[in-house]
Amino acid sequence: MTLEAGAQIWIPCEVKPGPFSDERLARVRDNGSEWLGFVQTSHLREPILEGATFLDALVVSVAGESFEARMPGEAVTPGLFKGETAKLRPLGCLEA
């Protein structure tokens, strides 16, 4: 998968129930980088209550095998998420 800024991607995450029925507490981790925040279930590949799924995100930069992405929702941890391109899945019609 060739990744570039502006791409919509799926990032693996763990979710737990949030304060509202249509909201989840999502945690994304990759090589020491972590993002934690509250997201609407519409941003999850499977709107599960708890467990492993994927969260949609917007790539803002790519450098070699690494990327930075803006996550949806209300972040508990500040800043962009930094991860490795090998663990990503394309979003929507880009899937092969």
Tell me, what amino acid is at 94? L
pLDDT band at 91 (very low <50, low <70, confident <90, very high): low
Residue 19 maps to a domain: yes
Residue 93 predicted with pLDDT over 50: no
In a domain? residue 63: yes
Domain count, the chain: 1
Q: Which two structure tokens, joined as six digits, stand for 33? A: 């980088």
Partnered with residue 55 across adjacent β-strands are 11, 44
Q: Report pTM.
A: 0.84
> Is residue 69 one of the residues assigned to a domain?
yes
What is the model's pLDDT at position 33?
87
Region 85-94: mean pLDDT is 63
Residue 3 lies in a domain: no
Q: Is residue 2 part of a domain?
A: no
Average pLDDT, the chain: 88
| 57 in any annotated domain | yes
Residue 41 lies in a domain: yes
C-alpha distances in angstroms, 64 versus 2, 44, 74, 83, 85?
Answer: 11, 27, 28, 11, 9
Show Cβ contacts of residue 42 under 8 Å, excluding neighbours closer than 6 positions: 22
Q: What percent of the chain has pLDDT over 70?
A: 89
